[in-house]
Structure 1
Amino acid sequence: MARASIRLWVLAAQLIVLMLTPASYGGTRAQSAMQQLVQASLPLLPGFLVLSALISVVLVRIVLAAASELGVSQFALNLLIRTLVLELLPLIAASFVALRYSLVAANALGHERSYTPLDVVPFCSACVFAVLLLAVSGALLASVIAYVSVYGLSVWGLASFNTLMAQIFTPTVMVVLGCKTLLSALAVAVVPFSAVADGLVPRSDLVVFARLMAILLLIELLSLVSNYY
């Protein structure tokens, strides 16, 4: 068991190195990578935006109502941006791509034939791109919803909103957010496909998803410690 786990971690590291190597996208793999980029992102984007909008609207209503009752309305927007953009949406984006693309694709590939790590690279790169695209799109949508909920459709709140965003997104916070999102994207890419690259039939989706969620929660915990401690 321990030897198999170590081998999977080594394969995961190998996949990450191959994704960063330009030579991995030569020949027909370049076309395959482009196809997978489209398949992993465009079909998922509308559903994720709807989900992000619903979560944002519900959370905005709850926070604004609670802040108004407690007399701390001036801190509501700050809390909303931190909760949605910094914490929730990157994690939701990674989970969404894992459930809708990477787990399904890895399971299908594992039952077709044996794949080398180089053959799996287009799928892994597509996962990383999809997570980053969904996280950025969801963050922009949540920011717009939060602004409209507080200031309405008026442009007079842009100055104070921009000031607040500058106070929240300091260089340190931006680095932590970027690292967290990128690490989450890499986890979504390499965890489900590690067994496929080894030529093994993947374990059940539940086992792989549980392992992936444990890694994502660990990344989230490290980001919380980096931002607030």
Structure 2
Amino acid sequence: MASAKLATGAAPRWGSAFLAWVVAWVRVVWLGAVLGVLALSPSSWRAPTRSALARHAYTDTAPILAGFTLLSALLTLVITRIVVVTAQSYGLSQYALEMVIRVLVLELIPLGAALVVALRCTIPNGAALAGLRRRGRFTALAGAGQDPLVVEVLPRMVAGIFSTVTLAALSSVVGMVLAYLAVYGFTEAGLAAYSRMFGRVFDGTVSLIFILKTFFFSLAVSIIPLASSLLDLRPGTSREAAALQGLVRMFAVLLVLEAVSLVGNYY
């Protein structure tokens, strides 16, 4: 009897939790779509919005650009050395540099750039937006005839996309250059072989997948934390728990995108 009552009570709770999960995802996707439309609308980019975008793009990119690039360079040198030495011991040295490029440039650097931007920029920006909303900033903007999404949210979202793409692009170039130098040194003798290997790795399909993956990574880390911070809290849910749920959503999307890109690249 008691177990039956427990099961009967648990079912509505599970159903309510699942419904809340679905509603939260729908609202995040809806808000992301709204921000996408606003970003493509010329009327959104008046002088104050452009100024805010420039400010956020600088503050979200400049402080972490040098550090992430140096970290990527160090990781490139370490992984290249390990892979080259291991490949030589098995007589597979002709595949070593290709493996480094595939692992670093195709997979690790875009994912690392997205995670760094999320942890250093977009998640704190989401917390800042939640604070502005609690203090009545959104209500004041709406009362003044301004759209809070355009004034406060849109510049932060576009700045997050810019930061992720910039970090991934610059670190990928640095990684490719250092991988060549780690194997061939400061000589032009390996340029022909390196160019052929690079063209074999980055064919049309892989290049398109790499561009799309980096772009969708930037969308995920820029939209989900900001959208999650603007969701109305369920009764009994703390803001820390809500922030954690947003973080879980973002990691889930990144995981799905990475899995899809792996399938596209290797199957």
TM-score by length of 2: 0.81
Match of 1:181 in 2: 214
Aligned partner (choices 31, 38, 53) of residue 33 of structure 1? 53
Q: How well do the aligned residues superpose, as a CA RMSD in angstroms?
A: 1.7
Q: Does 2:112 correspond to 1:92?
A: yes
Q: What is the aligned length?
A: 229
Q: 2: distance between equivalents of 1:51 and 1:205?
A: 28
Q: Tell me which amino acid in the other structure corresponds to 2:193.
A: S
Q: 1: distance between equivalents of 2:23 and 2:86?
A: 51
Match of 2:197 in 1: 164
Aligned partner (choices 143, 150, 170) of residue 118 of structure 1? 150
Aligned partner (choices 47, 72, 78) of residue 58 of structure 1? 78
- Could you tell me whether the CA contact under 8 Å between 1:16 and 1:190 is conserved in 2? no
- Deviation per CA, 1:57-102: give whole Å up to 9, x if none: 2211211111011110000001111111111100000001000100
Match of 2:143 in 1: none
Match of 1:76 in 2: 96
Q: Tell me which amino acid in the other structure corresponds to 1:29.
A: T
Aligned partner (choices 246, 250, 253) of residue 208 of structure 1? 246
- Could you tell me whether the CA contact under 8 Å between 1:33 and 1:126 is conserved in 2? yes
Does the C-alpha gap of structure 1 residues 121 and 202 become closer, same or farther in structure 2, counting only changes over 3 Å?
farther
Match of 2:127 in 1: 107
- Could you tell me whether the CA contact under 8 Å between 2:24 and 2:231 is conserved in 1? no
Q: Tell me which amino acid in the other structure corresponds to 1:49.
A: T
Q: Taking CA–CA contacts closer than 8 Å with sequence separation of 6 or more, which of the two structures ends up with the larger relative contact order?
A: 1
Query: Is 210-219 or 18-27 further displaced after alignment?
Result: 18-27
Q: Does 2:29 correspond to 1:9?
A: yes
Q: Tell me which amino acid in the other structure corresponds to 2:27.
A: R
Aligned-residue offset at 1:22: 2.6
TM-score by length of 1: 0.94
Aligned-residue offset at 1:111: 1.1
- Could you tell me whether the CA contact under 8 Å between 2:53 and 2:156 is conserved in 1? yes
